[in-house]
Structure 1
Amino acid sequence: MATFESLGLTNKTLPALKAKGFEEPTEIQTLTIPLMLKNEIDIIAQAQTGTGKTAAFALPLIETLKQSRKPQALILAPTRELVIQICEEINSLKGQNKITVAPIYGGQSIDLQLNKLRSGVSIVAGTPGRLIDHINRKTLLLDEVQYVILDEGDEMLNMGFVEDIETILEHTPPLKRVLLFSATMPEKIKELAEKYMGPYKHLRTRTELTTSLTDQIYFEVAQRDKFEALCRIIDLEPSFYGIVFCRTRIEADELTSRLQDREYSAEGLHGDISQAQRESILRKFRKKQITILVATDVAARGIDIVNLTHVINFSLPQNPEAYVHRIGRTGRAGSQGTAITFVTPSEFGKIGFLKRAVNVKIQKREIPEIQQIIDSRRNRITETVLKLASGEPDQLFLSWADELLKAGESRNVVASLLYHSFSKVIDKSSYRQITSYKKGGESGRSLVEEEGRSRLFIARGKKDGMTKKTLVEFIVKKAGVPPRVIDQVEVFDTFSFISAPFAEAEQILERFKNAGKGKRSLVTKAKKAEHKKRK
Structure 2
Amino acid sequence: MKMEDLKLSPEVTRAVKELGFAEMTPIQEKCIPEIRQGKDVVGQSSTGSGKTFAFGLPILEKIEPGKGIQALILTPTRELCVQVTDAISTFGKYTHAKAVSVYGGAGIEPQIHALRRADIVVGTPGRIIDHIRRGTIRFGSVKILVLDEADKMFEMGFIEDVEFIIANVPKERQTMLFSATIPDEIHRLVDKHLKSPVIVKTQVRVAKNLLNQFYYDVNSYEKFSLLVHLLKKSPEGLAIVFCATRREVDVVARNLASQGLRAMAIHGGLSQNRRLDAIDALKNRSVNVLVATDVAARGLDIKNVSHIYNYDVPKTSDEYIHRIGRTARAGMEGDAVTLLAQRDHDNFRAILRDHTIEIQKMEKPELEMVKFDRPQRFSRESRYGGEDRRGYRGGGRFGTRRSSGSSRGRRR
TM-score by length of 2: 0.86
Instruction: Tell whether the 8 Å contact from 1:42 to 1:197 is kept in structure 2 after alignment.
Output: yes
d(CA) in 2 for partners of 1:272, 1:168: 23
1:84 aligned partner: 82
2:6 corresponds in structure 1 to: 7
Q: Higher helix fraction: Structure 1 or Structure 2?
A: 1
Distance in 1 (CA, whole Å) between partners of 2:10 and 2:308 is 39
Query: How far off is 1:451 after superposition?
Result: 6.2
Matched position secondary structure for 1:12: helix
Shift of 1:10: 2.9
Q: Is the 8 Å Cα contact of residues 8 and 37 (structure 1) preserved in structure 2?
A: no
Aligned to 2:340: 343
Superposed, 1:297-376 pairs within 5 Å as 297-356=294-353, 358-367=354-363, 369-370=365-366
Correspondence list, 1:369-408, <5 A = 369-370=365-366
CA apart distance, 1:367: 4.0
Residue 32 of structure 1 is matched in structure 2 by 31
Q: 1:183 to 1:312 in 2, by over 3 A?
A: same
- 1:179-198 deviation per Cα after TM superposition (whole angstroms, max 9, x unaligned): 11111111111111000000
Q: Give the deviation of 1:220 after TM superposition.
A: 0.9
- Aligned residue for 1:156, secondary structure, equals helix
**Can you list the C-alpha shifts for 1:299-329, whole angstroms capped at 9, x where unaligned?**
4344221211111111122444543443332
**Are 2:240 and 1:243 equivalent residues in the alignment?**
yes
User: Residues 291 and 272 from structure 1, CA distance in 2 versus in 1: closer, same or farther, beyond 3 angstroms?
Assistant: same
Mapped pair 1:173 → 2:173: no
Aligned to 1:190: 187
Match of 2:50 among 49, 52, 55: 52
Equivalent residue for 1:160?
157
Flag the 1:299–1:63 CA change in 2: closer, same or farther, 3 A: closer
Q: Distance in 2 between matches of 1:150 and 1:249?
A: 24
CA distance, structure 1, for counterparts of residue 227 and residue 293 of structure 2: 16
The count of aligned residue pairs is 384
Map 1:147-296 → 2, pairs under 5 A: 147-208=144-205, 212=208, 214-237=211-234, 239-296=236-293
Q: 1:219 to 1:111 in 2, by over 3 A?
A: same
Counterpart residue type for residue 361 of structure 1: I
The C-alpha deviation readout for 1:203-224, integer Å capped at 9, x for no partner, is 112444x565543332211111
- The whole-number CA distance in structure 1 between the counterparts of 2:249 and 2:82 is 25
Pick closer, same or farther for the CA change 1:318–1:309 going to 2, 3 Å: same
Give 1:343 shift.
Answer: 1.2
* TM-aligned CA deviation for residue 149 of structure 1: 0.7
Alignment of 1:450-529 (within 5 A): 452=388, 505-507=407-409
- Code of the residue aligned with 2:57 in structure 1: it is L
Counterpart-to-counterpart distance in 2, 1:317 and 1:340: 12
With over 3 angstroms needed to count, the CA separation of the structure-2 counterparts of 1:313 and 1:59, relative to structure 1, is same
Secondary structure at 1:6 match in 2: helix
Partner of 1:21: 20
Aligned to 1:490: none
TM-superposed deviation, 1:124 = 0.5
User: Which amino acid counterpart does residue 73 of structure 2 have in structure 1?
Assistant: I
User: 2:106 touches 2:272 (CA, 8 Å); kept in 1?
Assistant: no
For the pair 1:121 / 2:118, whether they are aligned, the reply is: yes
Higher relative contact order (CA 8 A, sep 6+): 2
Q: Any conservation in 2 of the 1:87–1:103 contact (CA below 8 Å)?
A: yes
Residue of structure 2 equivalent to 1:465: none
| TM-score, normalising length: structure 1 | 0.67
Kindly tell me: are residues 55 and 333 of structure 1, through their superposed partners in 2, closer, same or farther at Cα, counting changes over 3 Å? farther
> 1:214 & 1:157 partners in 2: Cα distance?
30
Q: 1:199–1:283: structure 2 CA closer, same or farther, 3 Å change rule?
A: same
Q: Which runs of 5+ in 1 are unaligned?
A: 371-430, 435-449, 456-497, 510-535
Tell me by how many angstroms 1:263 deviates: 1.5
Cα separation, 2, equivalents of 1:499 and 1:131: 49
Indicate how the Cα distance of structure 1 residues 284 and 264 shifts in structure 2: closer, same or farther if over 3 A, else same.
Answer: same
In structure 2, relative to structure 1, the CA distance for the partners of 1:63 and 1:454 (3 Å cut) is farther
- Counterpart Cα distance in 1 of 2:356 and 2:198: 26
User: For the structure 1 residues 12 and 52, does the alpha-carbon distance in structure 2 shift closer, same or farther, using more than 3 Å as the test?
Assistant: same
Q: Determine the C-alpha separation between the residues in 2 that align with 1:353 and 1:301.
A: 21
> Contact 1:78–1:302 (CA<8 Å) still a contact in 2?
no
1:378 alignment counterpart: none
Contact 1:453 1:499 in 2 (8 A): no
Q: Distance in 1 between matches of 2:45 and 2:336?
A: 19
Q: Using the alignment, how far apart are the partners of 2:322 and 2:126 within structure 1? A: 22
* Contact 1:454/1:505, CA 8 A, preserved across alignment: no
Identity of aligned residues (%): 36
RMSD: 2.6
Question: What is the aligned partner in structure 2 of residue 432 from structure 1?
Answer: 368
SS in 1 for 2:199: strand
